[in-house]
Structure 1
Amino acid sequence: MPIRASNSRPFIAGSLMLVIIALVVVAVHAAMSGSEKSSGTNASSESINQELVIYIGRSESLVGPIIESFQRETGIRVRTKYASTGPLAALILEEGRRSPADVFYAQDPGGLAVLADRGRLRELPEPILDLVHSADRDHAGRWVGITGRIRTLSYSTERVASADLPDSVLELTEERWRGRVGWAPSNASFQAFITAMRHELGETETERWLRDMIANEVRTYPRNMPIVQAVADGEIDLGLVNHYYLHRFIVERGESFPVANHIPAGTNGTGDLGGTMLISGAGILETARNSDAAERFLQYLLSEEVQHRFVSESSEYPLRKEMAAGHNLPSDALRSVDLNRLGDLEQTIGLLRRVGALR
């Protein structure tokens, strides 16, 4: 059963983050030099402030069509900047009050929590916050969840019997899984998962698990998609990924694709860290010039129409109240993890480097 995030008092360390963001800002500018786009007609110098500027830490192939639909339906012109969530959050902090961004739409709550902690996000109006459950938004109302995704174990249906699947991600350090497991330590969702583990199990147990995984010859991949492909190709038998990556392969290759998802139930059946629910979310910058348009965009993302699109097109979980998950998504009881604590990212990155999972 997956673990769902709840919303208790955050623990977000901010001081070391400034050191990290200073190291990535130059790379951010270079990586995003070709990623800024204007959706719609070019604005004149007189009307530039009428554009809605959105920094997006999600896939352009997923979000781009939704941006286009928003523009057509509202008449609001949109300018976007795409990159990974962490570097975008770093860029916003580096830009300070000069940032042109009105909205930050993040892949995970970590980047949002960092900006909220640094006073860069404004409190959202109640009509937006009320669209989701309190567990799916910032405790102080500075950002709101849009969709959810579950950490899962993708496994080979040809080489792993369902009866042999682990009840917990902690079992992957056992000898029977030596050399058979893949992970992506540089991936933001994996880092959020490790952050959750740190707060659930403590620093010592998390470090021990990471070192034991490395000693058990876990294989490293750059992203989630190559992990699922490696399972299908027989390079590994099981991979730690988000649930919807398998969906994308099945859409392209059919139901015969030899990989399935396993959400560990935990040793006592109450849920496991290997099934943590993570969310994408969005907030409005404290320096936003077009706050009205920004609020309309957040309301649009949480509209029934767009939430249904996320379910049908990418197999994500809708976070709008009263909306059910897709027919192919599990809906078991969920255990609590503090969503706001996932902003404590710099210590996770330091831990991954210390044990050798990140270079």
Structure 2
Amino acid sequence: MKPLRTLLLLALAAAIPLAAAACGGDDDDEPTPAATAAGTAPATAAASPTPTPKPSGSITVYSGRGEALVKPLFEQFTKDTGITVNVKYGDSAQLATLLAEEGSASPADIFFPQDAGALGAIAKAGLFEKLPEATLAKVPATYKAKDGTWVGVSGRARVIVYNTSLNPAELPTSVKQLTDPKWKGQVGWAPTNGSFQSFVTALRKLEGDAAAEKWLRDMIANDVKVYKDNRAIVSAVAAGEVKLGLVNHYYLWSFIKDQGEGFAARNHYTAAGDPGTLINVAGVGLLKTSKNKPAAQAFIDYLLSEAAQEYFVKQTYEYPLVTGMAADPRLPALDSLKPPAIDLSDLDDLQGTLAMLRKVGALQ
């Protein structure tokens, strides 16, 4: 039986209207039929097949990406294609749970979470269509599902953000070192964040459940500070409330954009193969429930277009995943990072991770 809290969350999520103005997301309406092409094919159409109608109508996107980050991109897609995008924003894990609950009755066409764990959970539930090879070919194998059911759109590296008063030489080379008494009360994390939960899932896969649980308990015993999200952690580190924080790399750069190079925090990448250098993806999958698959596929291909990939580079400071696209030059090149050897499709045990976080008291 599902916990009462989960049932209440699902009931609340179901009550929120689907509208582009909805709010939420942890990054901090049914589709209308496609319009009929004007006119009719000439009698000689047998020799010249009728062109495929241009995708039109509307789609519903369940987005774990925050509204502030992706709404402008969705609006541009509508301007460019005429396809209306109705959005349900929310926490990636909760939206994945909702999709599983809705099953074949879901109104969603697209699932666009902020992490591979949520994508893997929906793929494991058999709710995604297989994507066309032409779409999958745009992205390296590391950043898409082996069975072709989802594809990464943008990448983010896990980092330790640190206050610039620290000497970089004294920073930990592994997240395992954060349990040292040296860092007691000086580290921030956000257990409700989807990317943090995927990191914990990766830790479980790499080190085993017993070791992951021990690390979580040791962090709590070392007085880790809890924040609501990544932005709050970066702000707290710069203000000196804590010295270190577990976040995604790109949050720092939005602060630097707003406050200048004097902003008192920077990113630190842990050693090669360390769980703390996990590279995760925000990705997208086409749901079998979609009533407007041509428009939904057009949306996916748009996210992998040069214009959209440049948006992620310039506006959200994430890594573009389409082969040949370059990241912001201030970031270390994606292929220079040495993340742990893990198949992102294996980050699908969200429920197991949530159960562990509740067990140790990191989540209520």
Scaled by the length of structure 2, the TM-score of the pair is 0.87
Name the CA distance, whole Å, in 2 between partners of 1:273 and 1:148: 16
Deviations 1:147-190 (A, max 9, x none): 000111111002x1111101111001111111111111111111
Deviations 1:178-207 (A, max 9, x none): 111111111111110000000001111111
What letter is aligned with 2:19?
A: E
Name the CA distance, whole Å, in 2 between partners of 1:179 and 1:276: 24
SS in 2 for 1:71: helix
What letter is aligned with 1:146?
A: V
Task: Confirm or deny: 8 A CA contact 1:131 1:302 kept in the other structure.
Answer: yes
Match of 1:37 among 8, 20, 41: 20
Name the CA distance, whole Å, in 1 between partners of 2:124 and 2:313: 31
The answer for the alignment partner of 1:67 in structure 2 is: 74
> With CA pairs under 8 Å and 6+ residues apart, which has the higher RCO, 1 or 2?
1
Name the CA distance, whole Å, in 1 between partners of 2:246 and 2:21: 36
Q: CA deviation at 1:325?
A: 1.9
Name the CA distance, whole Å, in 2 between partners of 1:154 and 1:333: 16
Q: CA deviation at 1:36?
A: 2.2
How many residues in Structure 1 have an aligned counterpart in Structure 2?
Answer: 335
The answer for the alignment partner of 1:273 in structure 2 is: 275
Tell whether 2:350 aligns with 1:345: yes
SS in 1 for 2:20: strand
Name the CA distance, whole Å, in 2 between partners of 1:118 and 1:70: 29
What letter is aligned with 1:220?
A: V
Tell whether 2:338 aligns with 1:334: yes
Task: Confirm or deny: 8 A CA contact 2:32 2:292 kept in the other structure.
Answer: no
Name the CA distance, whole Å, in 2 between partners of 1:81 and 1:208: 36
Name the CA distance, whole Å, in 2 between partners of 1:18 and 1:289: 32
Deviations 1:104-142 (A, max 9, x none): 111111222111111111101111111101111111101
Name the CA distance, whole Å, in 2 between partners of 1:357 and 1:154: 20
The answer for the alignment partner of 2:173 in structure 1 is: 167
What letter is aligned with 1:29?
A: A
Name the CA distance, whole Å, in 2 between partners of 1:264 and 1:279: 18
Rg: which structure is higher? Answer: 2
Task: Confirm or deny: 8 A CA contact 2:30 2:108 kept in the other structure.
Answer: no
Task: Confirm or deny: 8 A CA contact 2:32 2:58 kept in the other structure.
Answer: no
Q: CA deviation at 1:271?
A: 3.1
Any gaps of 5 or more consecutive residues in structure 2?
A: 23-28, 36-55
Deviations 1:85-118 (A, max 9, x none): 1121222222222222111111111222111111
SS in 2 for 1:230: helix
Name the CA distance, whole Å, in 2 between partners of 1:89 and 1:258: 36
Match of 2:307 among 280, 305, 308: 305
The answer for the alignment partner of 1:357 in structure 2 is: 362
Any gaps of 5 or more consecutive residues in structure 1?
A: 1-15
Q: CA deviation at 1:345?
A: 1.1
Which deviates further from its counterpart, 49-58 or 347-356? 49-58
Match of 1:282 among 277, 284, 294: 284
Name the CA distance, whole Å, in 1 between partners of 2:353 and 2:99: 21
Distance change (3 Å), C-alpha of 1:302 and 1:47: closer
Name the CA distance, whole Å, in 1 between partners of 2:97 and 2:113: 12
SS in 1 for 2:153: strand
Scaled by the length of structure 1, the TM-score of the pair is 0.88
Task: Confirm or deny: 8 A CA contact 1:24 1:90 kept in the other structure.
Answer: no
Task: Confirm or deny: 8 A CA contact 1:181 1:238 kept in the other structure.
Answer: yes
Task: Confirm or deny: 8 A CA contact 1:124 1:141 kept in the other structure.
Answer: yes
The answer for the alignment partner of 2:163 in structure 1 is: 156
Which deviates further from its counterpart, 68-77 or 44-53? 44-53
RMSD: 2.3
Which deviates further from its counterpart, 349-358 or 328-337? 328-337
Task: Give the share of equivalent positions with the same residue, in percent.
Answer: 44
Task: Confirm or deny: 8 A CA contact 1:177 1:216 kept in the other structure.
Answer: yes
SS in 1 for 2:276: helix
Distance change (3 Å), C-alpha of 1:56 and 1:218: same
Name the CA distance, whole Å, in 2 between partners of 1:296 and 1:85: 22
What letter is aligned with 1:200?
A: L
Distance change (3 Å), C-alpha of 1:18 and 1:281: farther
The answer for the alignment partner of 2:232 in structure 1 is: 226
What letter is aligned with 1:71?
A: T
SS in 1 for 2:342: strand
Name the CA distance, whole Å, in 2 between partners of 1:46 and 1:75: 13
User: 1:105-116, aligned counterparts within 5 Å?
Assistant: 105-116=112-123
Task: Confirm or deny: 8 A CA contact 1:17 1:346 kept in the other structure.
Answer: no
Tell whether 2:50 aligns with 1:57: no
Name the CA distance, whole Å, in 1 between partners of 2:258 and 2:82: 34
Distance change (3 Å), C-alpha of 1:230 and 1:18: closer
Match of 1:320 among 319, 322, 331: 322
The answer for the alignment partner of 1:4 in structure 2 is: none
What letter is aligned with 1:79?
A: N
Q: CA deviation at 1:352?
A: 1.0
Match of 1:251 among 257, 261, 276: 257
Task: Confirm or deny: 8 A CA contact 2:145 2:345 kept in the other structure.
Answer: yes
Q: CA deviation at 1:38?
A: 7.5
Distance change (3 Å), C-alpha of 1:47 and 1:303: closer
What letter is aligned with 2:264?
A: P
Distance change (3 Å), C-alpha of 1:43 and 1:218: closer
Distance change (3 Å), C-alpha of 1:44 and 1:226: closer
Task: Confirm or deny: 8 A CA contact 2:189 2:233 kept in the other structure.
Answer: yes
